[in-house]
Structure 1
Amino acid sequence: MDLGAIVADPGTRIIVCCGAGGVGKTTTSASLALAAAEAGRRVVVLTIDPARRLAQSLGLEELDNEPRRVHLPGLDNGSPGELHAMMLDMKRTFDDIVVAHSTPERAETILENPFYQTLSSSFAGTQEYMAMEKLGQLRAADTWDLIIVDTPPSRSALDFLDAPGRMSRFLDGTMIRLLTAPARAGGRAGMRLVGAGFMVFSRIISKILGGQLLRDISAFVAALDTMFGGFRERATATYELLRQPGTSFLVVAVPEPDALREASYFVDRLSAEGMPLAGLVLNRTHPPATTLLSSTRAEAAAEAVAETGGEGSALAAAALRVHAERMALAGREQRLADRFTSAHPEVGVRTVPASAGDVHDLDDLRAMGAVLTGPDDDPTSATPRTRVLPPR
């Protein structure tokens, strides 16, 4: 997997980073965005994860629903590259859609509706749909050469793929059709046509939900009725955009059984959806400084050195034991990686060694970006970037 070519290719317009929680998706997204900007591209990175790690690593106090430019000293002297960052605000995105696609009077009615206020801030699935909307808006604006999406942790990271279908099922559901029937039938004559059935329906639902909540829902649905087709069309258009060649999905994992199981789930799901998969980033690996001394031999040497009792023997024995532990850890990580690649031989892999500390500023992001997008061979250990240990 040549990530350097992917981020520098003008044909790559969207990169979606997905994976389990705590595997480094945010830092991977930011590092790739920085690398693309320094390669001369105008980039925006969108995080759906509410954690503030992205803002902190980019030197920003906070992120909001609008792209903020990141100050990059090396790119402020005539270079075409730019880096912007933003964090999805689910409610504000929904509010903007309502204002943009309805009259001022109808928009005010919707925004003040109590059911809408709950739906737009906490309803299950709204975040994923709004992520789809925001991605579609960014792409339609055609302001940036590359959009990088940092998805939320866990398997819900791919729920935005279900947003068009979920929205269609919601809009075509029996309750929505019943709630909008009087308005769609039109006037008093329409009320007479649907009145009997609707009154029975209303009495039943009122007992379940309460009369006031039902009235709020009915008013919300009636006010939003003319926008339903637009919701469905935009979500479907963005979904199709994700399937086009200009999009690349990047699965991020760490060399742990649970994280790689999640990675397998993402790979299978993306394959089933026909989404373009770039490959797997195996983050926080622990390659040893040298592989000339095996773990077993290092342990034996440590015992032999310790038994001599000479000057510096304790320090030498400790160093040998550290190397033995590192070799054992690297071997375990390589076996886990081999298990994944055996199950998914078609998926390219790029390993990223664990850093000494947390990635918290632009220099750290730049260093990680160099590993992600650099040549395949690591010059310090001669280990291919596709592996934790050199091939036998």
Structure 2
Amino acid sequence: MSAAPVPQDPAARSGRTRPAAPPLDLGALIADPDTRIVVCCGAGGVGKTTTSAALALAAAEAGRSVVVLTIDPARRLAQSLGLTELDNEPRRVEVPGAEGELHAMMLDMKRTFDDIVVAHSTPERSQQILDNPFYQTLSSSFSGTQEYMAMEKLGQLRASEQWDLIIVDTPPSRSALDFLDAPNRMSRFLDGTMIRLLMAPSRTGFKFASAGFLLFSRIVSKILGGQLLRDISAFVAALDTMFGGFRERATATYELLRRPGTWFVVVASPEPDALREASYFVDRLSADDMPLAGLVVNRTHPPATAALSATRAAAAAEAVLEAGGPDADLAAAALRVHAERMTLAAREQHLADRFTSAHPEVAVRTVPAAAGDVHDLDGLRTMAAELTGDDADTPTGTPRTRILPARRG
């Protein structure tokens, strides 16, 4: 099935060329000892996990001591790194010949939340919290908990000073902005009006509770059920002493992301929705004064050569079939495949150019789609070479900032 035709770009009709994106030098970024945290973010399904693992492998081979934190529950990262499984503690990955070290871990958000409760409360109080049914629901399925716990774990890893580079694969959220919003969302939840109302009996005692609160309590009890309301109230009362700690850590982790030595790498596929999400994220990073390294356009489809256009290849296929010959069908099929590849590449370049027109200051790196799933160190190494290779060192000579060569004006 042929790829859909690409609408002609107004810039091309007018003879103007799109602005060229600056090159994204990820090799220099991960080799720089001043780089301490790299956060890979973007929409779901664009290859953030594989990108994170490939960058971590490249950094270890460049001599860095690296830990990669993934939130991908599919366990593809463990398989590609040659591990049977990953858990909430970093595990050493054997990388033959590497000058540095590579560790990997997969976030267990409930275990991370449990560890926070135990670390910041007395044994008796922490057990009350851990045993509370509402807490058990909150720690495993509350919206935003996964993103918040990823931030908590990042703060823990950075505070340990055990690794000189931390690479974070952000959660597969509906919106890439959820990762940045998570700390403030959790803090707002814990400091919200309803939580404070639910905490009122534990602070003043029901004996002195106002008539208004008792009416509120009866209404909520009817809606939620008496037992759930009691569970929530008991949870809030037990967690009261930890509220300040949650807010402080939320603020500290957020500031950690703005500190020199942290870089965000936005990952997208050459699809409208993914690049739209990337554009929103770039705008948010700029608004929050957070350091953006650039955009990785992953899973592109560059042709083997750009010297033969899609139109000429399709016409040549027809001419070959008309001329006939023993290998005419094979030659025509190859030409048609090239025409389809050129059409697809032109569509992808058009989308990338639209992003660059909106964000001309954002550095870009394109990465070709792998022939199959990346499932071992060799596959990660191949992707790492695409991510960190010299901008002009490609088989066709097309810079890695692009999928097709730029049109001449």
Per the normalisation by structure 1, the TM-score is: 0.94
CA distance in 1, matches of 2:284, 2:88: 29
Q: Contact 2:265–2:293 (CA<8 Å) still a contact in 1?
A: yes
Aligned residue number for residue 239 of structure 2: 224
Show the 5 A alignment for 1:54-65. Answer: 54-65=77-88
Q: Secondary structure at the match of 2:33?
A: coil
Aligned residue number for residue 345 of structure 2: 330
Q: Contact 1:284–1:352 (CA<8 Å) still a contact in 2?
A: yes
Q: Secondary structure at the match of 1:74?
A: coil
Aligned residue number for residue 146 of structure 1: 165
Q: Which runs of 5+ in 1 are unaligned?
A: none
Question: What per-residue deviation string (whole Å, max 9, x for no partner) do you get for residues 333-390 of structure 1?
Answer: 1111111111111111001111211111100100110110110113411000000111
Instruction: State the shift of 1:192 in Å.
Output: 4.8
CA distance in 2, matches of 1:318, 1:116: 61
Q: Secondary structure at the match of 2:221?
A: helix
The answer to whether the aligner puts 1:164 opposite 2:179 as a matched pair is no
Aligned residue number for residue 361 of structure 2: 346
Larger CA deviation: 132-141 vs 270-279 = 270-279
Instruction: State the shift of 1:166 in Å.
Output: 1.6
CA distance in 2, matches of 1:262, 1:294: 31
The answer to whether the aligner puts 1:276 opposite 2:303 as a matched pair is no
The answer to whether the aligner puts 1:49 opposite 2:72 as a matched pair is yes
Aligned residue number for residue 380 of structure 1: 395
TM-aligned CA distance change 1:22 to 1:218, over 3 Å:
same
The answer to whether the aligner puts 1:67 opposite 2:90 as a matched pair is yes
TM-aligned CA distance change 1:322 to 1:223, over 3 Å:
same
Aligned residue number for residue 37 of structure 1: 60
CA distance in 2, matches of 1:26, 1:382: 28
TM-aligned CA distance change 1:169 to 1:34, over 3 Å:
same
CA distance in 2, matches of 1:163, 1:153: 13
Instruction: State the shift of 1:215 in Å.
Output: 1.4
1:205 corresponds, among 193, 215, 220, to 220
TM-aligned CA distance change 1:181 to 1:307, over 3 Å:
same
Aligned residue number for residue 316 of structure 1: 331
Larger CA deviation: 94-103 vs 311-320 = 311-320
1:135 corresponds, among 126, 133, 154, to 154
Aligned residue number for residue 180 of structure 1: 199
Instruction: State the shift of 1:154 in Å.
Output: 4.2
Instruction: State the shift of 1:267 in Å.
Output: 1.4
Q: Secondary structure at the match of 1:46?
A: strand
TM-aligned CA distance change 1:72 to 1:2, over 3 Å:
same
2:51 corresponds, among 14, 28, 38, to 28
- How many residues are paired up? 384
CA distance in 2, matches of 1:297, 1:192: 86
Amino acid in structure 1 at the alignment position of 2:160: A
CA distance in 1, matches of 2:114, 2:298: 37
CA distance in 2, matches of 1:309, 1:300: 14
Q: Secondary structure at the match of 2:326?
A: coil
- The alignment's C-alpha RMSD in Å is 1.6
Q: Contact 1:155–1:262 (CA<8 Å) still a contact in 2?
A: no
Amino acid in structure 2 at the alignment position of 1:270: L
Q: Contact 2:53–2:68 (CA<8 Å) still a contact in 1?
A: yes
More contact order relative to length (CA 8 Å, sep ≥ 6): 2
CA distance in 1, matches of 2:385, 2:316: 36
Q: Which runs of 5+ in 2 are unaligned?
A: 1-23
Q: Contact 2:394–2:400 (CA<8 Å) still a contact in 1?
A: no
CA distance in 1, matches of 2:293, 2:200: 46
Instruction: State the shift of 1:160 in Å.
Output: 2.7
Q: Contact 1:19–1:155 (CA<8 Å) still a contact in 2?
A: no
CA distance in 2, matches of 1:83, 1:260: 31
CA distance in 1, matches of 2:181, 2:162: 27
Instruction: State the shift of 1:196 in Å.
Output: 4.7
TM-aligned CA distance change 1:174 to 1:258, over 3 Å:
closer
Q: Contact 1:285–1:353 (CA<8 Å) still a contact in 2?
A: yes
Instruction: State the shift of 1:155 in Å.
Output: 3.8
CA distance in 2, matches of 1:192, 1:312: 93
Aligned residue number for residue 18 of structure 2: none
CA distance in 2, matches of 1:100, 1:10: 31
Amino acid in structure 2 at the alignment position of 1:59: G
Instruction: State the shift of 1:198 in Å.
Output: 4.2
Larger CA deviation: 298-307 vs 358-367 = 298-307
Per the normalisation by structure 2, the TM-score is: 0.90
Q: Contact 1:351–1:388 (CA<8 Å) still a contact in 2?
A: yes
Higher helix proportion, which one? 1
Aligned residue number for residue 94 of structure 1: 113
Aligned residue number for residue 9 of structure 1: 32
Instruction: State the shift of 1:205 in Å.
Output: 2.2
CA distance in 1, matches of 2:176, 2:349: 26
Aligned residue number for residue 297 of structure 1: 312
Amino acid in structure 2 at the alignment position of 1:321: R
CA distance in 1, matches of 2:295, 2:68: 19
